[in-house]
Amino acid sequence: MLSRRRLARVLGSAFLAVMLLLTGALTAQAENPITIGFGMALTGGLAPIGKAALLAMQIWEKEINGNGGLLGRQVKLVYYDDQSNPATIPGIYTKLMDVDKVDIVVSGYATNMIAPAMPVLMGHNRTFLTLFGLATNSEFNYPKYFAIQPVGGPKPKEAFARGFFSVAMQQNPKPSTLAIVGADAEFPHNAMDGARIVAKELGLKVVYDKTYPPTTTDYSPIVRAIQATNPDIVLVCSYPPDTVGMIQAVNEVGLKTKLFGGGMVGLQATTIKTKLGPLLNGIVDYDFWLPWSKLASPASLAFLKTYQDQASAAGVDVLGYYLPPFAYAYMQVLQQAIETAKSLDDDKYAEALRTGTFKTIVGDIKFGSNGEWVEPRVLAVQFQNVKSNDLEQFRDGKTEVILWPPALKTGDIEYPYSEVKH
């Protein structure tokens, strides 16, 4: 029979051995994290939105690691600045897969950044979960592509501007002529393709339909050319730099039209809202989620508070209404797919993405044909009552009124644009 002293020594040794094993396991876990690789717009024209998305992803990273990680391992985001430049994308994704050898590859923000990554991902036969790419897979039909993008459904190109046109056709008299303009780049091309289809369905006559180089800096000649056709509706498909330039030119020239906006990326970013201030009034644009909409759940509002508490120190969009909730949901979907598959194998978690329904802070997400959401969730909103360039006014739902869909409507349109924009 062991003496008490000897028993204590044996138990102490056993406890030490267990602690050493646990420490070794934790060290191995920390030294061998699951790596998630992507490019992100941290500089350039898309940076105001890209940097906000990154903070949301980092919030998820911290939370999941605090809760024990994914498949029992810590998670590490591996990312590079794509500079808002599509030319950087092939090199970034080649490095992520061939040099960094990341476990999982996802996209950064925006159609123009996702499209040039597609051939690289397809060549490596990797699953590709993407963030806010408009109908990117319509040209590739890649079975391992999945889009976190509310402009979903079987016809995402048409879904993008459906709300804008629905609002237009509710007016009396109904508009009859349309001008379409956008940058000569991936996203505007897809959005304009959809607009032409919807315009034809509605019997609208297209009187102007042109693109401009992405390097354009003076938009006044474009606005004057549009005005010469005297359109009832002007649909603009643009990224942040040209969105700002186009709105400034419209006010300089004094564009006269009944409805203006539709596909202007950037008006969702707080820095651009405060830059433009009252120039926003009357514009009808798209959005996906707002805290005063019925889409806002307790979970999404709790996330938004966490995000906003960190945003100023991180130097990112302080409101975070646009991309951050979806960037966080993006990671929630990835996490749930991998946990369902119990594997990092691309084929296995692609199958989980293909068949699952995912619970997220922006609602349930299920993927349908071509990796798009089964149902689109796009808002048509109008800027109203913008008095200054002050940030605080944009916390008030009265400055961004939801016009469509009817179930989410928070106010009525101010119309026509030419008479209400000031």
Distance CA 362, CA 149 (A): 11
In this prediction, residue 31 carries a pLDDT of 77
d(CA 70, CA 7): 39
pLDDT band at 421 (very low <50, low <70, confident <90, very high): confident
Domains of the chain: 30-150+296-371 (3.40.50.2300), 157-287+384-420 (3.40.50.2300)
Task: Give the pLDDT score at 420.
Answer: 87
Residue 114 has pLDDT above 70, yes or no: yes
Phi, psi of 229 (to 5 degrees): -90, -5
Segment 11-33 shows an average pLDDT of 52
The greatest distance separating any two alpha carbons of the chain, rounded to the nearest whole angstrom, comes to 104
CA dist., res. 181 & res. 334, Å (int): 36
The answer for 5, left when phi > 0, alpha when psi is -120 to 50, beta otherwise, is alpha
Residue-level length of the chain: 422
User: Cα(401)–Cα(422) distance, rounded to whole angstroms?
Assistant: 16
Residue 209, judged by CB atoms within 10 A of its CB (0-12, 13-18, 19+), counts as middle
Residue 158 belongs to what H/E stretch? helix 156-160
CA neighbor of 395 nearest in space, from 266, 298, 308, 323 = 308
Tell me the sheet residues that pair with 40.
81
Output the CA angle 273-88-335, nearest 5 degrees: 75
Q: Are 284 and 397 in contact (CB under 8 A)?
A: no
What pLDDT shows up at residue 19?
A: 45
Mean pLDDT of the chain: 93
For the segment 27-47, the average pLDDT, to the nearest whole number, is: 87
pLDDT, residue 21, reads 43
Percent of the chain beyond pLDDT 70?
93
pLDDT band at residue 44, thresholds of 50, 70 and 90? very high
CB atoms within 10 A of CB 25: 11
CA 162 vs CA 172, 242, 294, 335: distances in Å: 18, 22, 20, 32
Question: Are 120 and 86 a contacting pair, CB within 8 Å?
Answer: no
**What pLDDT digit, counting tens, does each position of 121-177 carry?**
999 999 999 999 999 999 999 999 999 999 998 999 999 999 999 999 999 999 999
DSSP 273: H
Considering 3-7, 16-20, 404-408, the range whose residues carry the highest mean pLDDT is 404-408
* CB-facing half-sphere around the CA of 244: CA atoms within 13 A: 16
- In the chain the first and final C-alpha atoms are separated, in Å, by 94
**What integer pLDDT is reported at residue 20 of this predicted model?**
42
pLDDT over 70 at 6, yes or no: no
Q: What's the pLDDT tens digit per position in 321-365?
A: 999 999 999 999 999 999 999 999 999 999 999 999 999 999 999
What's the predicted TM-score (pTM) here? 0.90
- Two tokens, residue 109: 């923000």
**Residue 10 pLDDT exceeds 70:** no
3-state secondary structure of 214: coil
Residue 5: the pLDDT is: 57
Instruction: Give yes or no for residue 274 having a pLDDT over 90.
Output: yes
Q: How far apart are CA 41 and CA 98, in angstroms?
A: 21
pLDDT at 24 over 90: no
- Token pair 């996330």: residue: 303
Give the per-residue pLDDT at 235: 98
- pLDDT at res. 15: 52
396-to-297, 386, 401 alpha-carbon distances in Å: 18, 10, 9
Q: What is the pLDDT of residue 7?
A: 47
Tokens of 232: 């009832």
